[in-house]
Amino acid sequence: MPHPADARTDPANPSGPIGIMAAMPQELQALLDLMPDESRVQRGGREFWRGHLGGREVVAVLSGIGKVAAATTATLLADAFGVSQLWFTGVAGGLGADVRVGDVVVASALLQHDLDASPLFPRHEVPGLGVSRLHPPAALVTQVADAVAEALSPQALAPGGPLSHIHLDTLGLHAPRVHTGLIVSGDQFVNSAEDADTLRHHLPDVLAVEMEGAAVAQVCVAFGLPYAVVRTVSDRADASAHVDFERFVRSVASPYSLAIAMALLKALPRVAPDGAVAAPQAHS
């Protein structure tokens, strides 16, 4: 895989603002509610919110639905706002055999399942890159998975914990499990057993499917940006499990995304107003 020419940051110690892309308006609003100094900037038909969250400078934005919309948003974050790292949070359909509704998948690889430029290139290969799977930095994947596990731990969900207000039992859900692996993206909403089986046939290790992550990954590769894609499973993409989607996003996915973002920010070195870097906050 080619090395990006514009590698601008250490994943463990980003020097510039963190770009946070939210898939759902409810997720974005949860972030904005905790940003005391957010200011709106309009660019490319989108509203970007600059401010601070958890002691870090961030730029938060709604991604837009589909690969083109998400890639445009990611490009603006990289080029117009100069973010040093990009995080994407949202929901996805579960495809892995042991991936349940309410679980969280952290991408260690992303692929466009609807990309097929054959016979010029092998199926799924990104022309010009020579690969089909794009991989976030391994150290960042580990950091994100650890932060997710801590943020959504049984202690956090227990009475008295920061997520005790999430009553999973009322939605028929179990405690969330964290998975790391392949997330695939395409410009179609996968919700039939036939389509899900087709994806699993071609990509046996796939865990989840959505409509944006792999496009964001391709932009980040072009700009040399570390990135992370984290998806809460809102449904089984084969329609074998159902929950009230709006209620799930409001009551589960949005609080999860916020808790994950705060845990990640907590794990990063803190930057003082004079630019000095302090150690990450100790985990309680």
Distances in whole angstroms, Cα of residue 233 to Cα of each of 38, 89, 179, 215, 242:
29, 11, 11, 19, 11
Taking the C-alpha atoms of residue 26 and residue 255, their distance in angstroms, rounded to an integer, is: 9
Residue with the two structure tokens 């890159």: 129
Strand partners, 53: 56
Of 38, 150, 235, 238, which residue is the catalytic one? Answer: 235
User: Hey, is 267 helix, strand or coil?
Assistant: helix
Catalytic: 27?
yes
Of 27, 150, 195, 212, which residue is the catalytic one? Answer: 27
Q: Which residue in 126, 43, 60 sits closest to 258, CA to CA?
A: 60
- Assigned token pair, 114: 């609807």
Catalytic: 38?
no
Q: Which residue in 172, 152, 148 sits closest to 164, CA to CA?
A: 152
Would you please indicate which residues are annotated as catalytic (active-site) residues? 27, 235
